[in-house]
Amino acid sequence: MILFMRCLILLSIAFWMAGCKINVSGDVIIGDLMNVAFGHKETILTPGTLRLEMSSLDTCQNERANLGASLERFFINFTPKTCEQSGMETYLLATIDIPVTASRDAWKMKTRSTFGILSKISDQIGGIEVEMLLHQGLFKELSKTIESKYFQKLDFSGSRLNLTLKNDQRALQVVLIADAFVNGDPVTVQKSIPIDPMNRLDIEISDVRREHLSRMGWVPMFSLVMGI
């Protein structure tokens, strides 16, 4: 019995020290990336999903409404939806909108969004470069808000960040990707991947790139090759 109680205490301590994971995914279409990169539109909002780790299912269900009021200033159109369990982990599922912008700096001044997507004309290839952006100031505020309510900071090191890219064009498109998981498969060196019309690619950044995003506020996701 004593051994059981010791194990229980150790597990509780480990949980509180681990921090809350925050998983973010966005759905983006190639047409929107083109419109922003080529200057047809300054900013476009694209739908996204946020999963915030909670201590228990009961806590998630009881705090869902309160979290909506607390976190809406960190995301665009933050809407809590439901609570879900994945193994021993519990997450609050919410929908958000993510700004697609052509500038690493301008989006911070014009929108209050912790995450963003950069779409710009490439200086190296005939196409578009796409990055994921992190507003580091807002992320720190968000972490403090979570800690003040639940005594846990956000754990970015264990978070999952991904984009689902849809080809809404009539022609086949080619994407250059490296150091990521593509449709669940690891891609280490740069690889050229075709996307047929109306097809999708699910792109999740690696641990190394996630750390780069945390430290620098931006990280390359992929390049869209044009004129093939």
pLDDT of 105 > 90? The answer is no
Q: How far apart are CA 31 and CA 14, in angstroms?
A: 45
Q: How far apart are CA 26 and CA 16, in angstroms?
A: 29
User: What pLDDT digit, counting tens, does each position of 158-205 carry?
Assistant: 899 999 999 999 999 999 999 999 999 999 999 999 999 999 999 999
User: What pLDDT digit, counting tens, does each position of 13-32 carry?
Assistant: 333 334 689 999 999 999 99
User: What pLDDT digit, counting tens, does each position of 59-85 carry?
Assistant: 889 888 888 788 889 999 999 999 999
Predicted TM-score (pTM) of the model is 0.88
Q: What percent of the chain has pLDDT over 70?
A: 90
Position 18 scores a pLDDT of 46
**Residue with structure tokens 């972490």?**
143
Position 154 scores a pLDDT of 85
Name the residue ranges covered by the structural domains of the chain: 19-225
Query: At 219, is the pLDDT very low, low, confident or very high (cuts 50, 70, 90)?
Result: very high
User: What pLDDT digit, counting tens, does each position of 116-138 carry?
Assistant: 999 999 987 779 999 999 999 99
Position 9 scores a pLDDT of 33
pLDDT of 151 > 90? The answer is no
